Amino acid sequence: MRILVTGHQGYIGSVMVPMLLKAGHDVAGVDSDLFRDCSFDKSTSSGIEEWRKDVRDLEEADLAGYGAVIHLANLSNDPLGNLDPALTDEINHLGSVRLARLARAAGVSRFLFSSSCSLYGAAGKDVVTETAPFHPVTPYGKAKVDAERGIRDLATDSFSPVFLRNATAYGLSPRLRFDLVLNNLTAWAVTTGQIRLKSDGSPWRPIVHIEDISRAFLAVLEAPREIIHNQAFNVGRSEENYQIRDIAKIVGEEIPDCRVTFAEGASPDRRSYRVGFSKISSMLPSFRPLWTAREGVREIARALNARGLTPDDFEGARFRRIDRIRELLAEGRLARDLRWVKSFVDES
């Protein structure tokens, strides 16, 4: 299948594209490349057709000839979403619905939207399924809710949107992020001997490796239309729901001689949700997640031990998305709408 991946050079996209290629798909990518200077240890290039463009600026002609669009590009977490809630709505909600509308007009048959379990928000201790009410508590979560609703209304007999509600991601990537809980706790443990909690450790989170997220997208691409048409799927595995303090405990068991510490101002987090994943395992039997939190800690630890990063490195702009955006804004390289200032568009 001919596939266009938006955000193909991001944390998930740079892992997903090689997996799509290995599965035999013909892949192209579009990315504004805001994080071009944030690679971890290797190039993000997969040798595919690609172009640098903000997804808000795509037109119908750009989408012609594709059988599917995988839409990953967005402001990728709560801190970024909080920077400018109106802009978060413009990009993550309105921009996503506009892209889906263009894809439908261009004859694209499948539109895979990378959503998030964060739309369940303050769900409490009960396990939530795809039919649970939404309780977003951040602009990021609200934009995912609104995007899903807007895209759902576009479904037709020839246009099938699918909503993959990813658990909190972790794992190694060419565009590695350390603003994700498992990656961050592991980095602190490896480099300082401290497992540094930024909340009181009580919130629930489901977590999933980015390779398993990619496997879910592959399963949707290859599934019969009647199974996936206008459906939402939680992406993860039920046994990988943890309280944050449980993730810290796993990190401590895998990395010896560590102790738990709390960041200044650590407090309860309103975002807390346990998620059920029986729908994706029953309806998409080809999806078989392979990773566990413990294996993810080992993977990140090996990578860090090989590189010798410091806390200043992994808590800095190179590996934290909000800090990178603030840096680009302060330098005048990005406009307030997060488009490149023209003089920086063609820099390598």
Comparing 198 with 297, which gets the higher pLDDT? 297
What gap in Å lies between CA 4 and CA 133, rounded to an integer? 31
Provide the pLDDT confidence category of residue 130 given band limits of 50, 70 and 90. Answer: very high
Rounded mean pLDDT of 26-43?
88
What gap in Å lies between CA 301 and CA 296, rounded to an integer? 8
Average pLDDT of the residues of the chain: 93
The pLDDT of residue 44 is: 60
The pLDDT of residue 125 is: 79
The pLDDT of residue 347 is: 56
The pLDDT of residue 76 is: 85
The pLDDT of residue 32 is: 95
Residue 53: partners with Cβ closer than 8 Å, 6 or more residues away: 30, 31, 32, 62
Q: How many domains, in total, are found in the chain?
A: 1
Rounded mean pLDDT of 274-281?
97
End-to-end Cα distance, the chain: 31
pLDDT of residue 348 exceeding 60, the answer is: no
The pLDDT of residue 43 is: 59
Instruction: Specify the residue for token string 């508590």.
Output: 137
Provide the pLDDT confidence category of residue 226 given band limits of 50, 70 and 90. Answer: very high
Residue 201 has which token pair?
């450790």
Provide the pLDDT confidence category of residue 307 given band limits of 50, 70 and 90. Answer: confident
The pLDDT of residue 265 is: 63
What gap in Å lies between CA 172 and CA 285, rounded to an integer? 25
Q: Which domain holds residue 149?
A: 2-265+272-344
Residue of 336, 337, 334, 343 lying closest to 33 (CA atoms): 334
Task: Give the torsion through C-alpha atoms of 182, 188, 189, 190, to 10 deg.
Answer: 100
How far from 292 is each of 177, 203, 289, CA to CA, in Å?
Answer: 18, 19, 9
Percent of the chain residues past pLDDT 90, beyond the cut: 80
pLDDT of residue 256 exceeding 90, the answer is: no
Rounded mean pLDDT of 137-146?
95
The pLDDT of residue 276 is: 97
Provide the pLDDT confidence category of residue 266 given band limits of 50, 70 and 90. Answer: low
The pLDDT of residue 51 is: 94
What per-residue string of b and e applies to 41-56 under the rule 16 or more CB within 10 Å gives b? eeebebebebeebbbb
- Over the stretch 93-104, which tens digit does the pLDDT of each residue have? 999 999 999 999
CATH of the domain at 236: 3.40.50.720
Rounded mean pLDDT of 69-79?
92
Comparing 199 with 11, which gets the higher pLDDT? 11
**Enclosing H/E stretch for 188:** helix 181-192
List, in sequence order, the alpha helices (H) in 42-131. Answer: 60-63, 78-83, 85-88, 95-105
The pLDDT of residue 31 is: 97
pLDDT of residue 345 exceeding 80, the answer is: no
